[in-house]
Amino acid sequence: MSSHTDSNSPYADTTPQPDALQQEAPPHVTGRQGTNPETGYPENGQNHPLQDPARQSLLNVRAEVAKAVVGQDSTVTGMLIALLCGGHVLLEGVPGVAKTLLVRALSTALSLDTKRVQFTPDLMPGDVTGSLVYDSHTSEFTFREGPVFTNIMLADEINRTPPKTQASLLEAMEERQVSVDGVSRPLPSPFIVAATQNPVEYEGTYPLPEAQLDRFLLKLTMPLPGRAEEIEVIRRHASGFDPRNLSAAGVRPVAGAVELSEAQEAVAQVTVAPEILAYIVDVVRATRSAPSFQLGVSPRGATALLKTSKAWAWLSGRSFVTPDDVKALSLPCLRHRVGLRPEAQMDGIAVDDVLGSILASVPVPR
């Protein structure tokens, strides 16, 4: 069976690159639906992004973030997908690629609250979740909220803090609440963690265990900018750009919690055919038998791939999932849920290359 979709199939779509989130816009839809040559979106009124204010608002977020951040459109798209799915994101990139600026600009464009925590070896769990503080005036202990009580929490260099503090995030990430002194306190909605780690420097770090890595919906890589993009970064700074003043850069709110909630409801209505469900399972099961992997993707990874594929389809202007939606999200959704064998690491084999081979070998629904 061919690895490409049939042009006469209802799942026909453009074949994505290995990581289709690197595209600067949702993929154009071909096949049975006609596309507008100016917008590249389907002519079908029901699925046209411009017919859905919530979708158009979220698509406008990328334009707002681009006023402050250059060349990271794919990461912004990944963050939007995470918000639509209510999942968390692991951002991997060397220092200086605007991870903090991107999160701040995204939260501004979405009218969401954000807090940043620099994870260090001496950071305590209470510094993240909050703690009981004695009030001398009332002679009672009161709870002081930690930075986790926000909409988007930027956990900077999460692998530089000990496992005890890393684990303090587990309940917040999974249950959307924190428990202090036997009392559970709900977190704001929406809530996601955007954790960063340096892919190069490992001295003095505490790698995240597999159980916590599996809690992240997506792992997004933030590459260094290309030459033209870096020139644009320098030009903006030469013109007086101040990364601490987003309002001066023109970043403004274009969506909010209401639009995000409406978008989440719309994503939930995206349909998935039985053969697409089977395709997702086949891709996930193939990771468990790949010779280069000692750890394959769990069923939680399969459900994550399903959720993100539905969100990507909706952002792309469709009410159904195609195999190419699954391919587009496979790398960012699965790359942190697998483990290479030591001999594969010694041979210089990359996780993304193995996943790419799996996607090329698993039969695609026709």
Q: CA–CA distance from 64 to each of 59, 60, 230 (Å)?
A: 9, 7, 19
Q: Which residue from 366, 364, 354 is spatially nearest to 326, judged by alpha carbons?
A: 364
CATH 1.10.8.80 holds for 270-361: yes
pLDDT digits (tens, 9 = 90+) for 41-89: 333 434 444 468 888 888 899 889 999 999 888 899 999 999 999 999 9
Which phi and psi (to 5°) does residue 214 adopt? -65, -15
Q: What is the amino acid identity at position 341?
A: R
Any idea which fold 51-241+253-267 has? Rossmann fold (3.40.50)
pLDDT digits (tens, 9 = 90+) for 123-165: 999 999 998 888 888 878 888 899 999 999 999 999 888 888 8
Give me the residue spans of the domains in the chain: 51-241+253-267, 270-361
Per-position DSSP letters for 283-331, written without gaps between them: HHHHHHH-TTEEE---HHHHHHHHHHHHHHHHHTT-SB--HHHHHHHHH
**For residue 102, is pLDDT > 90?**
yes
- For the question of whether the overall pTM of this predicted structure is more than 0.85, the answer is no
pLDDT digits (tens, 9 = 90+) for 319-357: 999 999 999 999 999 999 999 999 998 998 999 999 999
Mean pLDDT of the chain: 84
**Same topology for domains 51-241+253-267 and 270-361, yes or no?**
no
Binning pLDDT at 50, 70 and 90, where does residue 201 land?
low
